Chains A and B, each alone.
Chain A
Amino acid sequence: MLKTHEFNNLNNIVNYGFIYEQHANCSITLEDIISNVSTSLLIYDTKGAVFLELASKAKKIINNHNTVFAGLISHTMIKDLKSNGIVSGFYRSTSSNSNIAIAIADKINAYLIIDTKSIIKVSSKKLSFELFNYVNHLLWSRAEFEVLNNSVPKKITEIRLSVVVPTFESVRTKSELLNESYKYGTQDFDANHVLLTKPKVVDQKALLINSNIDSMIGNENQYYIRVFDEYYAPVNQDISFLFKGSSFINEKVQTLVNKRSWFDEKDRTIESEKVFEVVEMQPLDSYKQYEPDFEALYKQLVKDNYGKVRINVNVKPIMIDSTYQISPKYAKRTKIEAFVEESLNKLQKLADENSKKTINNIKTIKWVAEKIQKHNEFVATNEFGDDTLKNKKSSISKININIEDITIPQELLGKLYIKKNQQYFALKDETRLAEAKQWLKENNQDAIMVLDYE
C-alpha cells in the first residue's frame, strides 16, 4: 500500500553561508620552479608545506653538486631528512617560522608557495632580493642545527650576525598596513570584506581563501600576504586561485541547488530532488486505512538539505518472523490435556461400573474446557469405599486452571504468537479476518492481527 508526500524546500531561506567557487588553477608548478634553476635553490619552509615534495622532485638538482640545494626547515624536519630519503644538499633548521613556503632560485627568482598547487612567482626583482636576503639572514644568523649532505644534524653554537636583516622596502610590516585602508583583509585586519581560511558565520561579507594563508590584506589589484614574522609580501598578479568562495545572506535554497556550499556548520552540495523510500508495518486489520505522519518521517529521515523531498511509504501488514514465539498456550494446553487424561485414568481404576461409564463419557469430550469441568464435577460429587481408597483418591483432585490460558484458535483460523508480552494472532491471509476477530471476542482475548509467514 504506497502512500506518498512531497516537501518543497526551494523557497526556504538560508540565513548565512558560503558558495564555493571554482577558479582557474594556478599556472606554476613545482616542476616549473625546479626546471628554471641554474646555480641554487633555497627553500624556506618550516611548516613543511612543500619541502619534501619539492626535494623529491628536485633530485636532479640535489645530486648535481654544481647546483646548491639548500633548505631552511624546522628542527623536526631536519632530524628526518635521512628517513625521507634526502642524503644530499645543505640544510639548516630554525625556530623562526615561515608562514608560507618561500623558494628562491638562483638568489633572484622568488616564489611564494602556498601549497603545491598554489604558487606565486614574484615578479618584482626588488621583492625577490629582499626575500632572499631575509631568508639568507635566517640561514646564517638564526639557525640552530645544520646538515651538510649526509651528515648528522650538528648544533650551531657560534653566533653569526654578519648576514644582516635587509632593509625592507617592498616587504611591508603589519603596522604599516594597519594604517592603510583596504577592501579585503583577514580578521586580524579591519576591512569591509573579511577573508576567511575556513567558513564560519561572521556579520559581514566574507571571502574564503586558501587555508594555508593565515593573514592577508588588499584590494582586487594588489594583496599583501604574510610571509614570516609580521612581514607581508605584496602580490599584484592574478591570485584568484587562492580564493575558494564567497559568503551569502538570506539566500533561497533554489539558488544553492547543485552548488558546493557551506552553511549550518557544514560543507554540502544541495541536490535538487531526493526520494526517500520507507516501509511501515501495521496490523493486518488496519494497515489499509493507515495514514503515515509525513512530518515526523521528514524529521526522522532528512538530515541534509534538498530542493525537493518526496517520501514514499510502503505500508505493509506486520508479518510473523523469527522474532515472534509461538504462544505458550499451546504447550500448556497439551500438558493439561495429558494431565486430565491421566487423572481420568486414575479415577477409572478406583471407580465402580457406573462411574467408569461416566468417566468414559468424560474422556470422549473433545473440548478440553468441558472435559476439565466434567472431571472436576466428577471428583467433587463421587465418594469411594474405605479409608484406603479415600487415601488413594486423595491424590486425585480438581484441576484448577484459567481456561483462557489454554484457549487457542483452530489451526485453520490462525495461530497465536507472543512477542514482548504482546499476543499476536497470525492469519494465513485476510479472508478469515472477521472470523478471527470474532474468535478473540468470544474467547475474551486481545491480540494484534498479523500475517503468518507461510
Chain B
Amino acid sequence: MNISYRVNGMLNNFESKVDLKLNRHRNDFKSLLLEIESGNNLEQIFGSIALANSLRKILKNKGVIDASNKLTKSGKDFIVSPLLEEVESGTYSIDYVSMPIGKETVNFFSAIRRTISNEKRNFSTWNISNIISDNQMFTDRKDECVFYKELTLPKQLNSVFQGQEKTVEINIDLLEKKYNVEKGSWLLTGEELYHKVLTYADEALKNNPYGRFDLFNNLLYIETLKDFSDKELVSGHLEEYSTEGIVINSYPLCIDKVAMAKKYAYLYMYYRLNEDATYSFKEMDEILQNEVLTKNIFTDSVKSSKTMLEFQYDYNGFKDNLDTEKFNNLAYKLRVLEEFLDLKVVDNEFSKAKNYKEIVTKFSTSLSGSTVNELYMIMGYPFAKNSKTKTTEMIQEFTKVYQNITIVKKGNEHIENQNIEKEVRSLGVKVRENKNIKKAFHDRYLVFELKNKTYEIYLITCEIGQFFNPSTNQPLGSIIKINPSEISKDKVNLIHLVKE
C-alpha cells in the first residue's frame, strides 16, 4: 500500500545568523528515564551520589520526574517520543521549500547546515510566511535528529544572503509521514505538514470513480465490485490511481454493505475454486471466516452482521451472486463438490465431546502425558483474528496433559491476532510455520511423537482451535486416528515438514 503526494515546488537557500528553536531527539534522556522506570538506582549506575542528584534535579526541572523521583506523565510520554526542545543560535545555511498544496503554498525548512557557502549572494529582505513547523530537517551533523520549531533573525537584522531558487520534486508519503526533496533522504513530515497534505488529499480524492477514500483508516469504501479488476478483487486492493498529485498504489478496498460483502464472498471463492482448488462447502465457509473476514475488506459492522457471521456458501448462492459466465465456468465443479464432498462429522469417540477438556481426556486414555515426547499441532488458522478462534482455551486443556506442544502453522493466508499467539506462547507452547505443508496436505493433524520415537497421528477435518460450534458446543469436524503411512506421498512426508 502506498499513498503519496508528488508535486513540483521551489527550493531556496539563505544564509544568515539566526536563532533556532528545535525539537531534538534525545536517546540519552530516554535511556535515563527507562532506568528510572525500571527502578534502577542512579547512584549505582553512575557511581556518584552528587552526579545522581544533579541529574535528578535536571529531570525534575524538565518535569519528567516528580518529587518522589517517579516518572510523571510527561516522563512516560518522553519515553515514547524523546524530543527535547532546544534553542541554538549561530550562522546557518538553511534550505527552504515552497510547496503548493492545492491553492495554498506552504513553506518549510528542509535542511540546516552550519557551514556557509562561498557563493557571492544578494543581501535581501527575509520575508517567508506560512511556515510549517514540526518537520524533520536534514543537518550536516551525523546522528543528529532535529525538528523545526521556530526561526527568528536577531534583532536589527531583517535581511539574509539569498541563494538561487530552483524547481524540485517533492514527495510526501502519507503512510510513513515522511517527505523527500529531489529524491533525497526521507525525513519525517511532522503533524502540521502531514495534516495539510492529508486534508488536501482527502479533498482531491472526493472526486474518484471508485468510492469513498478513508485516509484515516486507509480504506477505500467501494460502491460496486464492477469497478475493479479480478486481480484487485481477489487481493482486496486497488492497484493504482492518481489525481491532482495524489498517487495511490495497492490501496485496501473496504466493503461496508452486507449485500456487496456477500457478493464479494462468492467472487473470492470463485477465484479460489477456479484456480484448481477443491473445497467442500464447509471448508469454503471456514476460509471465509478465517481468511476473508479477518481482513479489513469488510467493515466491522459488515463482519459482525448476522448475515456474514452465519454466512454459508451454497450452490444457489454462487448462481445468484456470480455473473452468468463465471457461474457457468464453475457450475459443474460446484455440483461435484455439493454432491460428493458433503462431509459429515464421523461418529466416533471424539464426536460426542462438548469441550476441549473432554477431547484431551479421550486422548489421554490412550496417550498419557508421560509417553508423549512432543505434540505437534498442524493448524491452518491458529491465531485467526476472529471470535471463533479458541486456540488459547484449547491449548490450556492440552498443556494440562502434554508438556511439550508445538503449533505448526500450515501457511494459510489470514490476519492473526497477536494477543492469542502471545497467550499461547506464554503457556509454553512453541510456534513455527512451514508453508510447504499447505502445498502438500489439505487437512490438519495432531502428531504425537512418543518417547519411543514412534508417532500417532490424528486427522482433524476442521480447525482444532475452532472445533466447537459456539452456540451448540457440537463438534464442527472429526478427529480420526490414521495410519502413519497415509501422510507420505511422492517423497513428501508430513513429519519431515513438521520438523523442518
Binding site for B on A (CB under 8 A): 39-40, 42, 65-66, 68, 70, 88, 90, 107, 136, 139-140, 148-149, 154, 157-164
Contacts and interface: CB of A to CB of B under 8 A. Distances in A.
Nearest to B315: A66
A68 B336 CA distance: 6
A209 B85 CA distance: 102
Given A162-B343, A164-B478, A148 B333 contact: yes
15 contacts: A40-B339, A65-B331, A68-B332, A88-B332, A90-B332, A90-B333, A107-B340, A139-B340, A140-B341, A159-B440, A159-B443, A161-B443, A161-B459, A161-B486, A163-B343
Given A42-B340, A65-B332, A159-B440, 14 more contacts: A39-B339, A40-B339, A40-B340, A70-B339, A149-B332, A157-B490, A158-B278, A158-B440, A158-B442, A159-B441, A159-B442, A162-B442, A162-B459, A163-B343
Interface in B331-353: 331-333, 335-336, 339-341, 343, 346
Which A-B residue pairs are the 4 nearest by beta carbons? A160-B442, A162-B461, A40-B339, A90-B336
A159 B487 contact: yes
B346 to A, nearest CB: 6
A284 B343 CA distance: 94
Contacts of A163: 341, 343
Chain B contact surface mostly: mixed
B207 to A, nearest CB: 45
Given A139-B340, A164-B480, A158 B335 contact: no
A107 B486 contact: no
Interface of B: 276, 278, 280, 331-333, 335-336, 339-341, 343, 346, 439-443, 459, 461, 478, 480, 482, 486-487, 489-490, 492
A140 B459 contact: no
Contact of A66 (B280, B333, B335, B439): B335
B443 A140 contact: no
Contact of B335 (A65, A140, A157, A161): A65
B461 A159 contact: no
Nearest to B279: A160
Contacts of B442: 158-162
A400 to B, nearest CB: 98
Nearest to B441: A159
Nearest to B347: A167
A148 B336 contact: yes
A140 B340 contact: yes
A149 B442 CA distance: 23
B440 A157 contact: yes
A110 to B, nearest CB: 14
A161 B489 CA distance: 12
Contacts of B343: 162-163
A73 to B, nearest CB: 15
Contact of B459 (A66, A157, A164): A164
A159 B332 CA distance: 23
Contacts of B276: 154
Nearest to A90: B336
Contact of A68 (B339, B346, B480): B339
A97 to B, nearest CB: 18
- Report which residue of B340, B343, B487 has the largest number of chain A beta carbons within 10 angstroms of its beta carbon: B340
Nearest to B336: A90
A149 B328 CA distance: 12
- Report which residue of A39, A159, A164 has the largest number of chain B beta carbons within 10 angstroms of its beta carbon: A159
Nearest to A42: B340
Given A159-B440, A164-B478, A70 B336 contact: yes
A164 B483 CA distance: 12
- Report which residue of A42, A68, A136 has the largest number of chain B beta carbons within 10 angstroms of its beta carbon: A68
Nearest to B492: A159
A136 B336 CA distance: 11
A139 B482 CA distance: 18
Contacts of B331: 65
Contacts of A88: 332
Contacts of A160: 278, 442-443
Contacts of A68: 332, 335-336, 339-340
Contacts of A161: 442-443, 459, 482, 486-487
B332 A148 contact: yes
Contacts of B478: 162, 164
Contacts of A149: 332
A159 B336 CA distance: 19
Nearest to B438: A158
Given A140-B341, A154-B276, A162 B336 contact: no
A63 to B, nearest CB: 11
A42 B492 CA distance: 30
Contact of B339 (A107, A157, A158, A162): A107
A163 B341 CA distance: 8
A42 B280 CA distance: 18
- Report which residue of B331, B332, B459 has the largest number of chain A beta carbons within 10 angstroms of its beta carbon: B332
Contacts of A158: 278, 439-442
Contacts of B461: 162
Nearest to B477: A162
A159 B485 CA distance: 12
B478 to A, nearest CB: 7
A368 to B, nearest CB: 101
A201 to B, nearest CB: 42
Contacts of A162: 280, 343, 442-443, 459, 461, 478
A194 to B, nearest CB: 35
A154 B487 CA distance: 21
A88 B480 CA distance: 35
Contacts of A39: 339
A68 B339 CA distance: 8
B31 to A, nearest CB: 53
B459 to A, nearest CB: 5
B55 to A, nearest CB: 64
A88 B461 CA distance: 30
A156 to B, nearest CB: 9
Contact of B340 (A65, A136, A159, A164): A136
Nearest to A67: B335
A164 B439 contact: no
A115 to B, nearest CB: 26
Given A65-B335, A68-B335, A164-B478, A157 B340 contact: no
A157 B438 CA distance: 11
Nearest to B461: A162
A204 to B, nearest CB: 39
